[in-house]
Amino acid sequence: MENDEKLKTLAESVSALCDSLAESAGSHPVLLAAVLSMVRMHPDQKRFAEEFRRVWLLLGSPNQSAGPGTPYADRIDESLEMLEEVLAVPLGVRPPRD
C-alpha cells in the first residue's frame, strides 16, 4: 500500500507541474509581444543594444553556456533572433553565422 501512496503523490505532483506549465505558457505570447513592441519603439535602439549586451554578459552569456542543439539553446537563439528582427542595430551577443 505504501508504494500506491507514493505513486499517487507522484502523479499528483506531475499533474500540478503540468498545470503550472500550461498556465505560464499561456502568458508567453503576451509577454513576448509586449517586449518586442517595447524594443521596437525604444527611442535609442543603439543604447538599448549596448545595455542588453552588458546585462547579457553579466548573466554569463546564457547562449554560450547552453549545450548546442538542445531545446534550451534553440529557444535562446530563436528569442535573440526575434529581438534582432525588431531592433535596428545588432545585439552582438550571438556568434557569427556562416
Give tens-digit pLDDT for 2-28.
888 888 888 889 888 888 888 777 788
Distance CA 98, CA 95 (A): 10
Distance CA 50, CA 33 (A): 22
pLDDT, position 8:
84
> pTM for the complete prediction?
0.70
Model confidence pLDDT, tens digit, residues 50-95: 999 999 889 888 877 777 788 888 888 888 899 999 998 989 888 7
The stretches of 1-98 forming alpha helices (DSSP H) are: 2-41, 45-58, 62-65, 71-86
pLDDT, position 46:
93
pLDDT, position 96:
66
Single out the residue of 52, 27, 38 nearest to residue 63, CA to CA.
Answer: 52
Angle at which helices 71-86 and 2-41 pack, to 10 degrees? 20
pLDDT, position 17:
87
Q: How many CA atoms lie within 13 A of 57 on its CB side?
A: 8
What percentage of the chain has pLDDT greater than the value 70?
A: 96
The residue ranges of every structural domain in the chain are 1-41, 43-92
Pair 4, 50: CB distance under 8 Å = no
Name the pLDDT band for 47 (thresholds 50, 70, 90): very high
Distance CA 66, CA 21 (A): 21
